[in-house]
Amino acid sequence: MKKIDNKHHSYAGNILRVNLTNGKIWTEPTEKYANRWIGGRAINTWILLNELNPGVKWYNPQNLLTFGVGVLVGTLAPGACRVSVDSKNVFNNGIGSANVGGFFGAELKFAGFDNIVISGKAKSPVYIWICNKNVEIRDAAYIWGKTTWETEKEIRKNLKDEQIRVAAIGPAGENIVHSACIITDRGCAAGGSGCGAVMGSKNLKAIAVRGKRSIEVAQPDRFMIAVDKEMCKINKWQLIKEIREKGYYGAMGGRLDSPSWEQGYRPVRNGQDEHWGKDKIAKIAEQEIKKYRKATVSCFSCPISCKPWMDIKDGIYKIQGEGWWNNSANSYCTKIDNTNLEAAIYAHLLTNQLGLDGDNAAQAISWAFECYEKGLITKKETDGLELVWGNYQAMIEMLKKLAYRKGFGNFLADGALKAAEKLGKNSEKFVVHVKGQDSLDGIRINKGWGFGIILSPVAGRHLRGSLNGFWLRSDRPINSYENVPEDLYYNQKKKAIQDILGLCSYVYGQTVDDWVELFSSATGRLLSKDELLHIGLQTHNLEKAFNTIHAGFDRNDDYPCERYYNEPVKSGPYEGEHIDHEIWDRMLDTIYSLHGWDLSTSWQTRKGLEKIGLNDVADKLKKENRLK
């Protein structure tokens, strides 16, 4: 593998370090890490694994918050817009990882940086201002307490530049709510793992970036041929015209006839079921969504335009903003059995303003709804709110209470599992979580989807588990276990590379061979498909090692929560579908064997790690007595 040259082709060339405790700002060359780890998510993870002591908790100032821009971001590679945000997971102290699109990542590279590593804690609220390699820590008193939308507006006004890109936390992050996320471009979320809570724990309100530099590629003619090939493939996709008109939800998952309504992607009433009636689906499907969709918009260098611009013109839910996803339909509709679409759209855009991850927040709230249904809590505990299924007014009020830690919202603010531990009354039996993190998805029907979500290093996030392998396959019944571990093993490598390069999952038809050509022509590094996937495999194993050392995970943590493991689907065409315990165990054995991990504990082995060139990681695990 050829090393990067001094011209930093496709790289900005610098990693920014900021210590908020003492105000120190310094840089180091990206090359120090990129020769081995390429970029983005892998560099972030390597830094976390090597610089964080096991005893450091996610809220300690010594914890690190890292931003890693994908290597191809800032170029014309289709869909190259993604940034990995990595730290400790607030739900379990394992690896916390989110991924966000928009324009922030490209702007950061234009300003001269590939990664940011933030340590320490400011004495009072601050934000980081980055402008063409000039970096300042500035007072954030004037924006503390404001929403993410207000924060972006005020920073641009204060700095007199409407082109500034802002990554900010809202009230949820300020109040260190576990479901807090980081928002860029008003509608793009680095969600899951509580990254917004980590940012808030450091008294860091925002990172504002303006860059006017350019990113060069090593072989422009070859690179543009690769880009044109990708664009031809995208433009020939039979659904592309419809997606550009309607967004992904309207063209695919939100169609009334979409198979996703029947295949377990839609958890109903806190996961009591995975089937919703057609009469309810019709009230939130494309035929209704189109009444509020005014346009579709794109992220940087994206030809898809998958994001709908929503506009409710009047009434109590008057609002406009970017985004409505399959997740939105789950979080604000099926999870609490709500069919009021205006309220759901409002809730989606409200969470963006509050800086809440909708997946995590909706799970905690839907658990509370079920507690209310079972009589485990009453209006006395819920501040007078009636948490009955379908009560969208109560859902919206709970989102606000959650973000501000007000009343019953404070009870839920550390996640549903922690709330259940406080409540007792066997309420933990219906907490839908993975390794402690509130989880959105149903997993009992689509076995590949579910297995990937449970085995994801970041615990319960489908974009890091199953998206690129299982829901698009047509050669296997949706509820089949056939070859699931083998396919997931490949997908774990592939998804890591996708994040390292900064490519979006929603750009249709890209193969690893395509990525090799884009990467090689952009950077000038000669890398084969196998070499690229090998780095993806190593990255996945870095995250596995981090989880073993910092969270103590073992085989016992690779099973679904009690509800999904023991309760069948209650209705619909897959009524009775459930998780087969014996097959699940065999699948764990298979994927552990593929990785070279110990079957009884799931811990990594020296033989397995040395086989993939991670001798130093094996030594680190040995030091912590976590190696087999």
Q: Is 338 helix (H, G, I), strand (E, B) or coil?
A: coil
| Cα–Cα dist 356/368, whole Å | 17
Residue 4: its pLDDT value, please?
Answer: 40
Number of domains observed in the structure of the chain: 3
Scanning 461-528, the segments in alpha helix (DSSP H) are 484-501, 512-523
Let me know: does 147 contact 354? Beta carbons within 8 Å. Answer: yes
Do 496 and 606 lie in one domain? The reply is yes
Convert the pLDDT of each residue in 217-269 to its tens digit: 999 999 999 999 999 999 998 889 999 999 999 998 899 888 888 887 899 99
Do 434 and 373 lie in one domain? The reply is yes
Token digits of residue 597: 């991990």
Do 473 and 605 lie in one domain? The reply is yes
In the chain, what percentage of residues exceed pLDDT 90?
91
Q: Is 321 helix (H, G, I), strand (E, B) or coil?
A: strand
Residue 466: its pLDDT value, please?
Answer: 67
Give the model's confidence band at 473: pLDDT under 50 very low, under 70 low, under 90 confident, else very high: low
Q: Is 114 helix (H, G, I), strand (E, B) or coil?
A: coil
**How many CB atoms within 10 Å of residue 422?**
10
Here the CATH number for the domain that contains residue 310 is 1.10.569.10
Helix H or strand E encompassing 145: none
| Cα–Cα dist 107/82, whole Å | 11
**What's at 317, amino acid-wise?**
Y
Determine the average pLDDT of the residues in 113-142: 98
Residue 469: its pLDDT value, please?
Answer: 46
Q: Tell me whether residue 225 is in a domain.
A: no
Q: Quick check: 443 pLDDT over 80?
A: yes
Determine the average pLDDT of the residues in 478-499: 94
Here the CATH number for the domain that contains residue 579 is 1.10.599.10
Q: Tell me whether residue 29 is in a domain.
A: yes
Q: Tell me whether residue 227 is in a domain.
A: no
Do 459 and 550 lie in one domain? The reply is yes
Q: Tell me whether residue 236 is in a domain.
A: no
Convert the pLDDT of each residue in 146-199 to its tens digit: 999 999 999 999 999 999 999 999 999 999 999 999 999 999 999 999 999 999
Do 545 and 619 lie in one domain? The reply is yes
Do 387 and 492 lie in one domain? The reply is no
Residue 383: its pLDDT value, please?
Answer: 98
- The domain in which residue 551 lies consists of 447-508+528-623
Do 493 and 551 lie in one domain? The reply is yes
Residue 453: its pLDDT value, please?
Answer: 94
Q: Tell me whether residue 4 is in a domain.
A: no
Q: Quick check: 297 pLDDT over 80?
A: yes
Do 150 and 184 lie in one domain? The reply is yes
Q: Tell me whether residue 571 is in a domain.
A: yes
Q: Tell me whether residue 3 is in a domain.
A: no
Here the CATH number for the domain that contains residue 128 is 3.60.9.10
In the chain, what percentage of residues exceed pLDDT 70?
97
What is the chain's mean pLDDT, rounded? 95
Token digits of residue 480: 């089949």
Q: What is the pTM of this model?
A: 0.97
Do 563 and 607 lie in one domain? The reply is yes
Do 204 and 260 lie in one domain? The reply is no
Do 422 and 453 lie in one domain? The reply is no
Q: Tell me whether residue 562 is in a domain.
A: yes
Do 187 and 259 lie in one domain? The reply is no
Chain centroid to Cα 340, Å, comes to: 26
Give the model's confidence band at 2: pLDDT under 50 very low, under 70 low, under 90 confident, else very high: very low
**How many CB atoms within 10 Å of residue 526?**
10
Q: What is the DSSP string of 269-316?
A: TTTTBS---HHHHTTTSHHHHTTTEEEEE--TT-SS--EEEEEE-SST
